Amino acid sequence: MTRTASPLGGDAGLREAGHGARHVAIIMDGNGRWATKRFLPRAVGHQRGVEAVRRLVRAARGMGIEALTLYAFSTENWRRPEDEIADLMGLLKRFILSDLDEFAANGIRLKIIGDYKAFPADVVELIEGALARTAGNSGTTLAVALNYGSQDEIARAAARAAAKGAITPETIEAELDTADMPPLDLLIRTSGEIRLSNFLLWQAAYAELWFTDVLWPDFEPAHLEQALAHFAGRERRFGGR
């Protein structure tokens, strides 16, 4: 695990040299604190957080990342005030409507992990339209975790595995929401918190972890390059010597 401040010194040769990370996941934390520090409504922090998502998605393809998974709305987020949840749903709809053409043009495949069908019907309709439109794309996979909790995911996967026969690590893994994605290589959390918050617990078993104090709305592609440079310097033994 590494915790950093926010110097940007990304490796300019990272794209050419290759960092080896196929699948990167990010816990996008700090929107509310970003807004509070500036005496702004939390909704403004969430809006700036969406802008950070755009920057990262656009940059990820050029960095050679095959899959980018973003923790957008957890199963626990339903406990937030109703007006904040409504703001988040509105942002999600605007993001899909404004960015779907760009996804399609750049070969980005949208994937949802979690139970997005618990969302309002108009949100579900937009999501399913976006999934259908990008299903054939072969570029970077953007997986967005919506109404997602890792413990729930593992329980669902184990139940499906049991219905088919033996329960083993392999049969459970085959039923996870991420089963069609590369193994998780690098998990990043912003805002200075050092915990996984029920995100990709199974997938993170041998992932490298990278924590930064940078609040999510301030997270730039250069910060991602910094994390990838750290990853490239790690020796991954997967329990061996």
How far apart (Å, rounded) are the C-alpha atoms in residues 63 and 66? 9
Cβ contacts of residue 102 below 8 Å, gap of 6+? Answer: 108
Number of H helices, E strands in the chain: 8, 7
- Is 137 annotated in the active site? no
CA distances from 137 to 12, 181, 229 (A): 28, 14, 28
How far apart (Å, rounded) are the C-alpha atoms in residues 103 and 138? 11
Task: Say which amino acid occupies 138.
Answer: S
- How many Cα atoms sit within 13 Å of 192 on the Cβ side? 10
CA angle in degrees (0–180, nearest 5) for 67-72-73 = 135
Q: Which of 77, 106, 137, 198 is catalytic?
A: 77
Q: Are 184 and 25 in contact (CB under 8 A)?
A: yes
Class of residue 5 by CB neighbours under 10 A (exposed 0-12, middle 13-18, buried 19+): exposed
- Is 29 annotated in the active site? yes
Q: Which of 29, 87, 177, 185 is catalytic?
A: 29
> What are 69's two structure tokens?
């998974």
How far apart (Å, rounded) are the C-alpha atoms in residues 189 and 26? 6
Catalytic residue positions?
Answer: 29, 77
